[in-house]
Amino acid sequence: MATPQEAIETALTPTSPSTSPQSLPLHHRVAIVTGSSRGIGRQIALHLTQLGARLVINYSSDNSAPADSLAAEINAAAAAAASLPRAIVVRADISDPTQVKVLFDSAERDFNSPVHILVNSAGTLDSKYPTIADTSIESFDRVFAVNATGAFLCSREAANRLKRGGGGRIILFSSSQVAALRPGFGAYTAAKAAVEAMTKILAKELKGTGITVNCVAPGPIATELFFGGRTEEQVKKIIDESPLGRLGETKDVAPLVGFLASDAGEWVNGQIIRINGGYV
């Protein structure tokens, strides 16, 4: 039997040509990753696939190309290894309960399996970074619809449909802004604070199911969402505030999610994990 340290190392180690698929920590498990056509979600999808998971790649925009490209990349690698298709693409707006249900229905139908893992990485913010006094009701509602309502709807569906008895994982996304409390992020931070509260409560409500619930809260990560609306000077200021002197990268976040999704992460439950290089 592997020691705890060996289990952690296995959970964080991607597959290689010499790795048996059956030895991968997420072998044959089904994972839904919302917002996975780009940014942090895309890197998470790739990492979970390397750990053996079968992926539902979710997007909500009119442009399916990034999601289709990612699925093709994953499935090409699976074909080379003589395994079944490992990724499907499902368009769904996570702020719509009907579409969230379709997301889970598609996963169960296409993989002929219950869903094991939900990673809710979809998110949005107002790139004008308005103060609370200047935040329009339309902006507030849009930010809450995706970040808070979306997390609630995905969590509710997962709580009722994830595999019981071991291996069930709900991994939500917040932000280190909840700890930083910076001006210009009023609606966004409030929505993410709601996600953190739901994480802790849901972990307790799922007692006895074997399903864990955790929340990953990144700091500044070099993605399209981060750079939107920011000047070069503003980006430099944020980098200067980091003890490590750089922005985070998507590859800094994905291994943490992989660990939480694996059996090695089972004893981590009901936690908010801030991953920001010391930014907060």
pLDDT digits (tens, 9 = 90+) for 90-102: 999 999 999 999 9
pLDDT at 220 over 70: yes
Which of 85, 78, 75, 74 lies closest to 44, judged by CA?
74
* pLDDT of amino acid 83: 62
Mean pLDDT, rounded, for 34-40: 96
59 as an active site residue: the answer is no
Tokens 């072998």 found at: 27
The Cα–Cα gap between 145 and 245 comes to 34
CA 45/CA 64 separation, integer angstroms:
16
Taking alpha carbons only, the member of 181, 179, 169, 96 closest to residue 132 is: 181
Q: Which residue has the tokens 């943490």?
A: 256
Q: Residue 25: what pLDDT?
A: 96
pLDDT higher than 70, residue 145: yes
Contact 87, 95 (CB under 8 A): no
Rounded to 10 deg, the angle between the 4-11 and 250-261 helix axes is 130
Counting residues of the chain whose pLDDT is more than 70, the rounded percentage is 90
What are the structural domains of the chain? 26-272 (3.40.50.720)
Which residue's structure tokens are 């280190």? Answer: 176
- 36-46 mean pLDDT: 97
Q: What is the mean pLDDT of the chain?
A: 92
pTM of this prediction?
0.90
- The arithmetic mean of pLDDT across residues 221-231, rounded, is 93
User: Between vectors from CA 46 to CA 40 and to CA 49, what angle results, nearest 5°?
Assistant: 135
- The 10s digit of each residue's pLDDT in 258-273 is 999 999 999 999 999 9
E strand or H helix at 11? helix 4-11
- Structure confidence by residue, pLDDT tens digits, 58-115: 999 999 999 999 999 999 987 766 566 799 999 999 999 999 999 999 999 999 999 9
Helix/strand/coil for 58: strand
Check residue 148 and report its DSSP letter: I
**Residues facing residue 32 across a β-bridge:** 56, 118
Asked if 176 and 187 touch (Cβ cutoff 8 Å), the reply is no
Cβ count near 112 (within 10 Å)? 7
Chain position carrying tokens 């010499």: 18
Round to the nearest angstrom and report the end-to-end CA distance of the chain.
Answer: 38
Q: Is the pLDDT of residue 12 over 60?
A: no
pLDDT at 54 over 60: yes
Average pLDDT score over residue span 192-212: 98
CA–CA gap between residue 236 and residue 246 (Å, rounded): 9
